[in-house]
Copies of this chain bind each other. A is one copy, B any other.
């Protein structure tokens, strides 16, 4: 994977020697905010939700899918986690002790450079997610999600919802009830839902409503 591409062999071995790969069923809390960051997690398979709580409320901060990492920033600063993580699907996670990551970084500037890139990308994705949340309405976020899923899955006018709707709702920062209502709003723009399948009558009409913005939606920049 990208993170280890420029890693020296001995450093890589040292990391892997201390690492372990573990399977988790769905709905498991992998880390909890306020705990010290003792492991770097790399998600190999599945889907993980990052969230935070305060005063009985909870908010979704983002999602990690293969081969993303968390929580790199806490590991690097040797601090507590600011976020919690739970699996949304059966997942496989590679865990590397934080201490090893820090010493590998000190020993191998190629690895450190990769870490910097990964960290910067995570940072930028968080900023994009924040903009998505604060500058768009619920139905707009859904419209953009559909367009992205369609691009990702192929060019058909059918889009499969590959997770439970309640999970999609959380991912889009809304309640399940409001997700239903958001789908109803999008009916006017040629969207129909049948179970786990979405039909897109007119990509153009949907795109006009969604107001695609590369500074929010592009996951490579």
| Chain A contact residues, CB within 8 Å of chain B | 33-34, 52-55, 57-59, 61, 72-74, 76-77, 79-80, 82-83, 105-106, 109, 112-113, 115-117, 119-124, 126-128, 130-131, 133-136, 211, 213, 215-216, 221
Contacts and interface: CB of A to CB of B under 8 A. Distances in A.
Contact of A54 (B52, B123, B211): B211
10 contacts: A34-B215, A52-B135, A54-B135, A54-B216, A57-B135, A77-B124, A82-B215, A83-B127, A116-B116, A126-B130
Contacts of A119: 116, 119-120, 123
B124 A116 contact: no
Nearest to A213: B54
A123 B79 contact: no
A76 B115 CA distance: 11
**Copies of this chain, tallied across the complex:** 2
A135 B59 contact: yes
Contacts of A134: 59, 133
A123 B59 contact: no
| Secondary structure type dominating chain A contacts | helix
Contacts of A133: 134
B215 A120 contact: no
Nearest to A80: B221
Contacts of A58: 135
Contacts of A136: 54-55
Contact of A112 (B59, B116, B127, B128): B116
Contacts of A124: 73-74, 77, 79, 82
Given A72-B120, A113-B112, A123-B119, A131 B54 contact: yes
A83 B128 CA distance: 9
A55 B116 contact: no
B128 A82 contact: yes
A59 B106 CA distance: 38
Nearest to A79: B221
